[in-house]
Structures are given as C-alpha cells and as structure tokens.
C-alpha cells in the first residue's frame, strides 16, 4: 500500500495497478444483429427469474461470442450479481459446485434431454499481490486453501477465485475480448468493456490485459487460446500477435495444473468439433508437444490413417449434433499400442489373456491418473476386448456379442479398422447386417458363414484381405452412426 501511495505521489505508473477496466459500451440489438431464435429459452428463463428479483443477469461468454457470429452456442452461461446461495434459492433444481471457482448449475429436464445453465457470480478483479499466497500448488495445498476466497501460488497462478465484485471487474478477468461480452436477452443489449465487438469484426482473438501475466494466472488459458483459434479459424479469425507471442514459452506453466483439469481441456480440444483444426493450430504455434502427455500422442499419430479417421469422424459427428464418447476416441488413439503389445504376447500366451495384459500395460504407461476415471477406462477396455470376438461368427458368439452394452461402440471401432484396411470390410458389413436383423435373418447370416470357406468364419485379426483404402471423406469413413454416447468424462 505504502509503495503504491509513494508511487502515486511520484506519478509513477504501477504495473500491479488494476488493469484498465475498459469503458462500458452498450450495443443495441439493431446494431449487433443477434438472432433471438438462437438463444436458449431456458437461459432466458434464468435471466428473467434473476432480473425479476432485482438482480443484474446476462448471458455471457462463449454463448455471446457464438451468437454474434451467427453460430448456435453449445451451452449457455449466465452471469449475475446474485451470490451462489441467492441463485440457488431461486431455482428448484440448482446446485452449487466447484471450489476453485464456485458456480451454480441450474438444471432443466431429465435424462439425455437435460440441460444445465451455468450461473456464475460477477468476480471482483483482485491483484495477485493482494491475494493470499499459498506455498505449493493446487494439489499440495488443499487444506491450506480451505476457506480462502482468493489465493494464488508463488508464480501468481490463481488457486481460489471466489470474491464477488462489479460487472466491469468481472469483464476484466475474463480471458479473450470476444468472450467478455454480456447479452441481455430481454432488452437485446450487448454490454462490451474491452472492444470485443470490434475484435469480432476484425476477426481477432485478443487476450484482455497482459497475455503473459494472464497465462501465468491460469495456464489453461494457453489451451483455450488454441481451441478458440481452431474453432474460429474457418471464420477467418487469427490470434492477435501480442496474444500469440508468449504462448509457446508459457507451456511449461501447465506442469502444475492438476491432471484432471488438463485432461478435460484436452477433451474439449478433441471433442468439440475441431479436433483436426486444433492439432493444426498446435503445430503452427510450435506447441505440438508438452501440453499433456496423451495429447502429445494424439498429435504424433494424427497422420496415421486410423487416428486421422477417428478424429475426422468425431469432428463430423459433433458438427451434426451427434454425441461422441471420449472412451471411443482414446481407444482409437491408443489402439496401435494395444495391438503391438498383443501381437508380442500372443507368441507366448493364448490370445485373450495376451490382449488383457497388453491393455493393462497401455493403461499403466499411457493413461496414468485418468485410469481412475472408472467408466472411461472400463469402456475403453470393453471396446478393445470385443475386437477379437468379432472374428468369431459361430455358435452363440454373435448373439451374446450383439447384446453387449458396448456393442455399438465396439462395432464402430471395428468399422473404422475396416475402413483403414485392418480387418475385412465384409466382416464389418456382416456385423452391420447382423445387428440390424431379426432372429430368423440372424440365423441365416450365421448359416451363411458356415457355408463359406472355413477360414471365413475365423479370419486372422490384423490381416485384411484387401489393400488399405486411402482416407475418405469422414461422412463415409465410418459408414456408421453408432458411436456410443453417454460417457462424458466429468465423472
Ligand atoms: P465454449 O464454446 O467452449 O463453451 P466458452 O467461452 O463459453 O467456450 P467456457 O469454458 O464455457 O468457455 O467459459 C465461459 C466463459 O467464462 C468464457 O467465455 C470466459 O469469459 C470465461 N472463462 C472461462 N474460463 C476462463 C479462464 N480460464 N480464464 C478467464 N476467463 C475464463
Ligand atoms: Mg461456454
């Protein structure tokens, strides 16, 4: 404080002063042209309920960015000056979640159709120098962090961010200018403090404040920069040079970020419809490795036919609004490891235990922490373990396999293998027929296999009878619509 006071008396500028909070600009609906049809009615409902109780409330962040571009946002976030407790009290199905960053999930609908509107309270700008400093990091300082509202580690990384404040401060602590606008769906106004609207027109992804400092506060912003650059690349967006410059040198900061957060960010890179574009961006920005070990593997393998086809298929599905499963994608990415380990072991072991051991080894060496994500790991294992079972089309085998809960994912996986020439395409066609047929037709299909040459019933895994095809457009690459949904990894 004294230093700041003396600096002020001497007229020195102080680098740790509040960043410019920007000037409030109100942009009318007739100017910004957001199509109200693209706005989720449940988000409007949340805003309305809050406003009726006298709180400020807006749709905020990525949803406003996407609406301005004419895109349909994948989710809607709301920002308000009501505290999480106040928000919770206004909705029947609302849950306060998060420690580092407490927010409220307001839930609408049930089952697959359910929708969550994330409501966050305006955050105060707090100088890292004023925050409580914690030794160690998120992982090593859990007990010390309990009860703290705003805490940073020695490098300035934000570990707790739960101090409420006015809207202009909330805007200043958001990441990119195009992510820091507020939309009032009832008046139609957009509130913009940091020139987000201009940057949207200029097609620039610009970090608010000093980019190097902002990456240090929260290194995940490095990955977010890549993701938004990839997502907006085909609209002509570029990362503004000052924002891009410290990216590569900041990658080392990610070492202290909890693995689970990095894993989730990696999935957002790969499963929000821009996987191939994100990998392209990583390469362009000189960050092909070092962000997260599993992501390094994906980047290394993007040129392989199989992984490329899997990523392309995932992008296509997301683009068509179809569900995608992280277990499926990761099973594709790590399949070559499993296959190699399996082939080596099969010299000494029977095929099935050999495959199980190969899978165990891949989990140990490649997945680390993530193997603790019960369902994700179990689903990957199922997909892999079912592959040799597709080769056996005799007796009761096909009947039990087709009833397996993971049949659809395992079949899609096999179809992808067929697409790159790893298994016979006729085998994939046969299973497609079988899975769609009634009981009588299924009997016929099994009879048909019996009457074919003996080695047709048990073809050799890994040896296709036709030459691998080159990559095809994704829409035809898998030929299947069955990639199984439902194992989002936020478990
Ligand atoms: P998406 O389309 O992927 O949902 P998004 O911009 O909405 O993109 P979210 O993770 O949903 O991303 O975050 C919502 C908003 O919260 C962002 O637009 C941004 O304003 C703010 N935000 C999220 N993460 C950060 C961060 N790490 N640092 C600063 N602001 C952030
Ligand atoms: Mg969002």
Instruction: Please pick, among 40, 66, 175, 412, the residue that the annotation labels catalytic.
Output: 175
CB 181 within 8 A of CB 196: yes
Q: Where are the alpha helices (DSSP H) in 218-304?
A: 220-233, 241-244, 247-250, 259-271, 275-284, 293-301
Q: Is 256 considered catalytic here?
A: no
Task: Provide the token pair at 17.
Answer: 């002063």
pLDDT at 372: 54
| Ligand 1 center from residue 219 Cα (angstroms) | 13
What is the pLDDT at residue 18? 56
Q: For residue 4, what is the DSSP state?
A: H
Cα 326 from Cα 275, distance rounded (Å)? 12
Which residues does a 6 A CB cutoff place in the pocket of ligand 1? 61-62, 74-75, 77, 174-175, 179-180, 218, 220-221
**Ligand 1 centroid distance, CA of 61 (Å):** 6
- Do residues 352 and 382 lie in contact, with contact meaning Cβ atoms separated by under 8 Å? no
pLDDT at position 169? 94
Of how many residues is the chain composed? Answer: 491
Q: How far apart (Å, rounded) are the C-alpha atoms in residues 285 and 215?
A: 15
CA of 114 to the centre of ligand 2 (A): 16
d(CA 431, CA 410): 11
Q: If you take atom 17 of ligand 1, which residue's CA is the nearest one?
A: 61
Distance CA 188, CA 477 (A): 43
Closest CA to 409 of 313, 293, 302: 313
Sites in the chain below the pLDDT cut of 50: 1, 3-17, 371, 456-491
Note if 170 is an active site residue.
no
Q: Which residues contact 476 (CB under 8 A, 6 or more apart)?
A: none
Q: What is the pLDDT of residue 195?
A: 96
> Catalytic site residue 175?
yes
- Report the nearest-CA residue for atom 8 of ligand 1: 62
Atom number, ligand 1, closest to the C-alpha of residue 75: 4
Q: Give the distance (Å) from ligand 2 centre to CA of residue 220.
A: 15
**Structure token digits, residue 15:** 């680098």
pLDDT of residue 13: 39
Q: What is the pLDDT of residue 258?
A: 86
Strand partners for 410: none
User: What is the b/e burial string over 418-432, where b = at least 16 CB atoms within 10 angstroms of the residue's CB?
Assistant: bbbbbbbbebbebbb
pLDDT of residue 131: 64
C-alpha angle 94-144-154 in degrees, rounded to nearest 5: 105
Handedness of CA 176, 222, 380, 297 (dihedral sign): positive
Residue 30 to residue 310: CA distance in whole angstroms = 43
């Amino acid at each position: 404080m004294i230093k700041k006071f003396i600096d002020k008396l001497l007229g020195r500028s102080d680098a740790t002063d509040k960043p410019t909070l920007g000037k409030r600009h109100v942009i009318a609906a007739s100017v910004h042209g957001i199509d109200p049809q693209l706005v989720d009615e449940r988000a409007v409902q949340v805003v309305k309920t809050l406003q009726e109780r006298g709180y400020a409330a807006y749709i905020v962040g990525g949803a406003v960015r996407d609406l301005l571009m004419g895109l349909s946002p994948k989710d809607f976030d709301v920002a308000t000056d009501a505290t999480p407790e106040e928000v919770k009290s206004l909705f029947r199905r609302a849950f306060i979640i998060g420690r580092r960053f407490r927010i409220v999930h307001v839930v609408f609908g049930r089952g697959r159709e359910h929708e969550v509107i994330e409501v966050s309270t305006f955050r105060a700008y707090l100088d890292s120098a004023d925050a409580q400093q914690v030794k160690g990091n998120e992982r090593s300082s859990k007990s010390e962090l309990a009860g703290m509202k705003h805490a940073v580690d020695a490098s300035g990384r934000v570990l707790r961010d739960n101090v409420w404040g006015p809207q202009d401060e909330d805007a200043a602590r958001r990441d990119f200018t195009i992510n820091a606008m507020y939309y009032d769906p009832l008046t139609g106004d957009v509130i913009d403090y940091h020139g987000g609207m201009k940057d949207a027109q200029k097609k620039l992804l610009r970090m608010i404040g000093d980019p190097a400092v902002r990456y240090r506060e929260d290194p995940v912003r490095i990955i977010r920069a890549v993701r938004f650059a990839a997502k907006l690349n085909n609209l002509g967006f570029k990362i503004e040079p000052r924002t891009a410059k410290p990216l590569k040198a900041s990658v080392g900061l990610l070492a202290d970020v909890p693995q689970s957060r990095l894993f989730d960010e990696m999935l957002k890179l790969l499963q929000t419809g821009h996987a191939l574009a994100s990998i392209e961006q990583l390469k362009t920005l000189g960050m092909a490795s070092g962000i997260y070990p599993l992501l390094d593997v994906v980047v290394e393998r993007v040129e392989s036919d199989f992984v490329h086809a899997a990523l392309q298929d995932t992008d296509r599905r997301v683009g068509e609004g179809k569900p995608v499963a992280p277990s499926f994608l990761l099973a594709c990415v790590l399949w070559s490891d499993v296959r190699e380990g399996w082939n080596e072991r099969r010299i000494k072991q029977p095929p099935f235990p050999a495959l199980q051991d190969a899978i165990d080894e891949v989990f140990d060496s490649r997945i680390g922490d993530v193997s603790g994500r019960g369902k994700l790991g179990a689903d990957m294992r199922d997909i892999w373990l079912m592959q040799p079972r597709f080769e056996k089309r005799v007796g009761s085998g096909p009947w039990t396999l087709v009833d397996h809960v993971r049949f659809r994912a395992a079949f899609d996986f096999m179809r992808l293998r067929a697409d790159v020439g790893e298994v016979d395409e006729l085998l994939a066609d046969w299973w497609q027929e079988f899975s769609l047929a009634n009981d009588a037709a299924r009997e016929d299909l099994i009879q048909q296999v019996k009457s074919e040459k003996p080695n047709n019933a048990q073809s050799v895994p890994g040896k296709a009878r036709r030459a691998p095809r080159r990559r095809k457009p994704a829409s035809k690459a898998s030929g299947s619509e069955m990639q199984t949904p439902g194992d989002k990894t936020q478990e």
